[in-house]
Structure 1
Amino acid sequence: MRFFNVYLAISILVFFANSISAQKIDEEEISRLKEVYPESQVIFLKYFADIDISVKGDSLFVEKKNFENTFYLGNQVSQFAKDRIYSSSFYELKDIEAYSLVPSGRKYKKAKVESFKESFNKNSDFFYDDFKTINFVFPGIEQNAQSVLSYTEIYEEPRFGDKFFFQSGMPVDHARFSVTVDDEIDIEISRFNFDDFDIQVSEEKLKGDRTRYIFESREIQKWETESSSQGISYYAPHIVFRIKSFVDSKGEKHQVLDDLEDLFAWYSDFVGDLATQNDPKIQEVVDELISEDDSEIEKVRKIYYWVQDNIKYIAFEDGMRGFIPHSGSYVCEKRYGDCKDMASIIVNMLHHAGVKAHFTWVGTRSIPYKYSELPTTMVDNHMIATYKNGDDYYFLDATAQYLPFPLPSSMIQGKETLIKTDDGFEIVEVPKIGYEKNVMNDTIRIKLDESTILGKGNVSLSGYAKLYNAFNLIQSDEKSVSDYLNYLLAKGNNKFLIEEYDIANLYNRDLPIEVDYSFNLADYYRNINDDIYINLNLDRAMNNFIFEEDRELPYENRFRYTNKIVTILEKPEGYELTYLPENLTFENDVLAFTIAYSEKNGEIIMDKTLEVKYLTLYPEDFDAHNTAVKALNKAYREAIVLSKK
């Protein structure tokens, strides 16, 4: 029966191909497309993925047929002629066919793609990656042309499942996703973000005790991204399917990914006994690092920092090596590894130090799914180590080279982790670090010199503010460091210039970065008759940062933070203070700020604190954010007045 179904699927694809290549140019259809998608140069007429899963002996056979029919609606479409499909060791790619339908009079002329060029991933972030692209160019692409692409994927590992998006970077006129399974196969199809879309769901009973589940959509506009927003998986309608279990030809039931227990059992096999393997070389390194007087937490800190300093992060993806870490011994010898390898050596070195640590799987914030809702490999893309002390969890991610202990990496804040324990696993959420932990604290002393401000400052950076700025300062040459500091510490106007600087604690993760600097700022204040007008808000963080009414997607911050700046003006000789702005305090659930002015011992002082409380700001909170920023903008316009005595 399976051979009949394969024959039927091939016949359907042939029908699509022949019917398209034989058709006349349909002017009414083109008019409809222009009306429905007036701003689009190119659209998917058909975007289909049909998966067939069957039992073959004591295993599963999973085949996916892909079909894409693209219409080139605009007059600037030649840039879209290049296309690619992807392959890896996890599935076999076959039966690739691609061709163009080029307008010729009132009909289409078929032009086949003759050249397919295979290349490996050249992403500089990866030392090796078996992920391949097959690149090709559709010939003769012009306005009102079409292209057709079909190919088949044979899945080598059924536990990976799959997902399908009904929305993409260009409009999708007709999308279809289907799964056909033997009745002995139990699957789960999870739906995401369906509420605002008309997606038709149907089910067909087929001969041979088989069922086909079909999801179809029509006329879905393209996905519109916005700056600093979450990815398409958070909002576009899509499906994630997984195989839970199946009964083989002998009547025996096999678990695949029925629940989180199955996922963990699979993952647990990848790490085996790597945590407790003993190695005299690792023991020697550990003994040199720690002493008997160290507390357990101090041992963790020292080993974690050693891995950050001595193991170079190199991504290495080769089939199942994307899931299976090397041993701590191997990583220690080679002095490099990916996230899994770094987790492996941390866990193993702590074992040698007599400290229990745990392999931990986690997804970054780019992934919307949770283990508690979707027990599949699509939930995670990262591995770390976790140390537990009492009720406290320490998430150790050595891929973030300059990350101070015990901060988790910012990209996993708020995410569920799957932690391997002695007797199973537990799900623990990574905390979202508060704004009071990530601080940029800047104090400047300034004086007026004719038309120029001369100043000296000291800025300290802690938490994530230290992490991200340390990376830029350590990785840069001297000129780049100077340029970066002029960007980071910019004040007043574009004539701000740092003259000298000294950086302390750049390589000491446990202390804030300290930068002492001197600067000048020309043409900033105004001198009118006998009065000097000067705005002490030289740093105007969040100035005019207003969300427009048409923004629809949440705004994503790397981290919550606090900016503090104290500006101290030396009062010019022969002048007195005649106007000092009122102090101002504002606070709501997303932002807070205080600006306080004072005069003391011949100095005029402005003390300002800005607290950004959100990691993700949702549209319902845009008004609260805008209200705060408008109040801040108003405060930023205030200037002090100095008058001649």
Structure 2
Amino acid sequence: MNGLYKIIILWVFCCASVSADKSIELKDTYSVQPVPSWVTQQGIPKGVNQDGNYGVTYYLLERQLDFGNDSEDYFRLVYSIDQKEALADNSQVIIDYNPSFQRLEVHHINVIRNGKVVNRLAIEDITVAQSEDTEESLMLTGKATASTQIKGLQVNDVVDFAYTVKGQNPIFEGKTFFRQNLGWSSPIKKLFLKAVSDNPLQIKATAYDDKLNTEKVAGRYQYKLSIDNVTTKKSLDGIPNRVHYFPYIQGSEFESWDEVVEWALPHYQDKFELNNSLLRLANGWKEQFPGDLESQITAAIQYVQDDIRYFGIELGVNSHKPHHPNTVFDRKYGDCKDKTVMLVALLRQLGVTAYPALVSTDLNSGFETMLPSPGVFDHVIVGIEYGEQFYFVDPTKTAQRGSLKSISLLPFEKVLVIDSQLEQGIVSVPQHDYEHKIHIEELFKLSSMSKPASYSISSTYYGIEADRVRSWYKVNSKKVIQDNYFNFYKKVYPTLKIDGEIDINDDEDLNIVTIKESYIVPSLWSFNSNHYYSDFSSYEMNNHIYYPERPERDVGLAIPFPKKITHNIRVVLPETYSLDSKKTNKEINHESFSFERNVAVKQNSMNLSFDYKAKEKEVNVDVLDNYYESLIEVQNHLNYRLIFPASKSQQKQQRKKRLQDLIKG
């Protein structure tokens, strides 16, 4: 099905799960039924011009919700196929739902051709299957997917399908919340939303709030929003997580973040009694690091990160409720919730104050601007109080080493801490002073211009950069790593040859990884007329600096942060050579980053250095033009050509070689 529809169904069914202790026949969880009587049916807009994107025009999108005793979520989409290239991606209806607590009712799949309506829905054509993809998601949710092909679909046909999913996850204890986007990169002729609830809801619409109608009918609260010609927004790269780029409407029965904390507390702060195996682990760290609480803490973090593999069984209430740490220990796997409660329990056994903290990987600190509800969060991490400071760690990460300062840097700016003692559950994540960086040292050395150059590289990674490299080399053989590096440099120097085994040194206490390589470059220099030359560049910097697209945009640009790279290149020629002394310096300072290149040529050597540092996580929209221009200037200074004259005998030798090459050619 088309991309817009895929995005929509992800919002509608974001918490799919199946109860682990119930045997469910999938054939009993879906049926063909008429449209529910409570639905306010909408007419299809008339006289619509085919002006959609990707060969599809969207006429009508409906979402109607009834939060009664049996929560119901009605969805309808009407669109036309404008081009034959769009047939393959838009001739299938796909519906996700939760068979343990939800039932699917499909109402119709109509094809409208030349004004004639034909219903293509047949119960025997619907296929329902468990839709797990554990290899990619490392998650077992029990979600089911119903799908059917629309038979006989042709260009210019209009597709009209509708269904209802009934039931709500019992983990939310009847509390109501929802969210619906009000804009996409594809236009929609009409959008209709209705929500009906026994209890009043907080409602927030970031657009079209003047079209929102609120009334009380037969003792129930109704919220309606009808929009013609929904405004489109161009898709952009690098949108900061905290920015709600597309408009949305949100409803929630939760009145405050404190209520969300109260909902989560019973699930995350049970009085977990650890089994003897877990108690022995905690006591072992105390014996191993007597009087060194930080080492005990990091030992617990590393155990949960590395020895408990990430895999989630989010069945039934466990979509939001963690398993007991003893169960997680026995299984040796768990999802973010499971690993969080295990780490919190172990840290408390060490006498450390620790809390679970809910985060939004999509919205980052932007969740704070939304209405309170559990639905805005999709991840859980651990907050630790140590030395009168707060540290936050992600127990699902692997191969993290070093001190609390080096491992606690996370992209989340704010979290909701699950603790009854905090007056305000929303906490800012501190960024501790630690330098996460990459440092490269390259050395080219020649004993004679007629002989190959020796080429050595030392790459040192600090902090999160060390974590990134470590997590890669830990799962690859030394040969794979050597081949990977060798093939990279061979693109730069085609005649490159390996001159020694790659060396990897990992100082886990300081969280520093150093990788050393040795090569031979038979053909480092090129000859032109009467001089030799070779180009030297900072490939590492070019790989790590983000060069975004340049569309017109009304939001800032997220850039990689933290990001600090230093790259030094030294070239040593035979002592008989004397180069013209030269010193040049280029600095580029922008409010978002700094860059500097230094060149020093003296006698028979050249020292070339590059330095880049990101200062901020994002670039403000009002300085983007200047940022783009500054980046282009950086690119223009990532390469340096070293030139030196050839002797008369060398010139003669090169002319002879060219002649021989021509004869051979």
Q: TM-score, normalised by structure 2?
A: 0.81
For residues 377 and 12 of structure 1, the distance between their equivalents in structure 2, rounded to whole angstroms, comes to 27
In structure 2, distance between residues paired with 1:620 and 1:452: 51
The CA distance in 2 between the partners of 1:489 and 1:425, in whole Å, is 52
Shift of 1:355: 2.3
How far apart, in 1, do the equivalents of 2:637 and 2:495 lie? Answer: 23
Structure 2 spans left out of the alignment, 5+ residues: 1-32, 648-665
Q: Offset of 1:71 from its aligned partner?
A: 1.6
Residues in 2 aligned to 1:560 and 1:174: alpha-carbon distance in whole angstroms = 43
CA–CA distance in structure 1, aligned partners of residues 335 and 175 of structure 2: 23
The DSSP-based 3-state class of the residue aligned with 1:150 is: strand
- State the Cα distance separating 1:75 from its structure 2 match: 2.5
Matched, 1:439 2:453: no
Asked whether the equivalents of residues 453 and 522 of structure 1 are also in contact (C-alpha less than 8 Å), the reply is: yes
What is the percentage of aligned positions where both structures have the same residue?
14
Aligned residue in 1 for 2:534: 534
For residues 565-607 of structure 1, what are the alpha-carbon distances to aligned partners after superposition, in whole Å with 9 as ceiling and x for unaligned? 1111112343221263511222121121121222468432112
Q: Could you tell me which amino acid in structure 1 is paired with residue 36 of structure 2?
A: I
Q: RMSD value over aligned CA atoms?
A: 3.4
Q: Where in structure 2 are the equivalents of 1:1-400 lying within 5 Å?
A: 10=36, 29=47, 32-34=48-50, 36-37=51-52, 39-54=53-68, 61-79=70-88, 80-88=90-98, 92-103=102-113, 107-114=116-123, 115-123=125-133, 124=135, 125-156=137-168, 157=172, 158-159=174-175, 161-168=177-184, 170-182=186-198, 185-192=199-206, 194=207, 201-203=211-213, 205=215, 207-220=217-230, 224-229=234-239, 234-243=244-253, 257-274=254-271, 277-291=273-287, 293-366=290-363, 369-371=366-368, 373-400=370-397
Task: Sort the Cα spacing of 1:324 and 1:108 in 2 relative to 1 into closer, same or farther, 3 A.
Answer: closer
Q: CA deviation at 1:450?
A: 4.3
Q: Are the aligned partners of 2:579 and 2:602 in contact in 1 as well (CA < 8 Å)? A: no
Provide closer, same or farther for how the CA distance between residues 501 and 219 of structure 1 changes in structure 2, counting only shifts above 3 A: farther
Distance in 1, matches of 2:84 and 2:375, equals 39
* Segment of structure 1 superposing worse, 157-166 or 413-422: 413-422
Contact 2:442–2:456 under 8 Å retained in 1: yes
Q: CA deviation at 1:222?
A: 5.5
Question: Residue 309 and residue 507 in structure 1: after superposition, are their counterparts in 2 closer, same or farther (change >3 A)?
Answer: farther
Query: Aligned runs of 1:550-589 on 2, under 5 Å?
Result: 550-552=551-553, 554-578=556-580, 580=582, 582-589=584-591
How far apart in 1 are the matches of 2:299 and 2:98?
39
- Equivalents in 1 of 2:440, 2:632: separation in Å? 23
Report the CA distance between 1:223 and its aligned residue: 5.5
Distance 1:236 1:101 in 2: 30
The structure whose residues are more often strand, as a share, is 1
Identify if the C-alpha distance between structure 1 residues 609 and 141 changes in structure 2 by more than 3 Å, giving closer, same or farther.
Answer: same
Compare 367-376 and 387-396 and name the one that shifted more: 367-376
Q: Is the 8 A contact 1:575 1:643 kept in 2?
A: no
Instruction: Please give the per-residue CA displacement for 1:22-49, whole angstroms capped at 9, x wherever unaligned.
Output: xxxx9x83xx422x43x44113211011
Q: Using the TM superposition, name which of 554-563 and 497-506 deviates more.
A: 497-506
Residue by residue, what CA displacement relative to the aligned partner does 1:170-228 show, whole Å, maximum 9, x if unpaired?
A: 4322111122345xx22111223x2xxx6751325464244432222233366643444
The whole-number CA distance in structure 1 between the counterparts of 2:453 and 2:112 is 66
Looking at structure 2, the residues matched to 450 and 161 of structure 1 have their Cα atoms a distance apart, in angstroms, of 75
Alpha carbons of 1:476 and 1:507: their partners in 2 closer, same or farther (altered >3 Å)? farther
1:78–1:142 CA contact under 8 A, matched in 2: yes
Task: Give the letter for the 1:596 counterpart.
Answer: N
- 2:599, 2:192 → 1: CA distance? 63
Give, in angstroms, the shift of residue 423 of structure 1. 5.8
Contact 1:363-1:412 within 8 A present in 2 as well: no
2-structure distance, mates of 1:420, 1:490: 54
The one-letter code matched in structure 1 to 2:228 is R
Q: Distance in 2 between matches of 1:126 and 1:563?
A: 33
CA shift digits 1:231-255 (9 cap, x unpaired): 7982111111112xxxxxxxxxxxx
The number of aligned residues is 600
Instruction: Quote the residue 1:427 is aligned against.
Output: 426
Q: Alpha carbons of 1:534 and 1:138: their partners in 2 closer, same or farther (altered >3 Å)?
A: same
Q: State the SS of the aligned residue for 2:153.
A: coil
1:525, CA displacement in angstroms? Answer: 3.8
Alpha-carbon deviation of 1:164?
0.9
Shift, 1:399, TM fit: 0.8
Q: Which amino acid aligns with 2:282?
A: V
Distance 1:493 1:166 in 2: 52
| Aligned position for 1:604 | 606
The AA in structure 1 aligned to 2:235 is T
Aligned to 2:24: none
Does the CA contact (< 8 Å) of 1:384 and 1:396 recur in 2? yes
Alpha carbons of 1:565 and 1:202: their partners in 2 closer, same or farther (altered >3 Å)? closer
Shift of the 230–374 alpha-carbon distance from structure 1 to 2, 3 Å rule, reads same
Provide closer, same or farther for how the CA distance between residues 178 and 501 of structure 1 changes in structure 2, counting only shifts above 3 A.
Answer: farther
Q: Secondary structure at the match of 2:226?
A: strand
The answer to whether the Cα contact below 8 Å between 1:579 and 1:642 also exists between their aligned partners in 2 is no
Deviation of residue 639 (structure 1)?
A: 2.5
Residues 490 and 241 of structure 1: CA distance in aligned 2, closer, same or farther (over 3 Å): farther
Q: Does 1:475 align with 2:493?
A: no
| Alpha carbons of structure 1 residues 296 and 521: separation in structure 2 relative to 1, 3 Å | same
After superposition, give the CA deviation of every residue in 1:390-426 in whole Å (9 maximum; x if it has no partner): 4411212221011234245766432333242556663
Greater Cα offset, 438-447 or 347-356: 347-356
SS at match of 2:318: helix
How far residue 145 of structure 1 moved from its aligned partner, in angstroms, is 0.9
Q: How much has 1:514 moved relative to structure 2?
A: 0.8
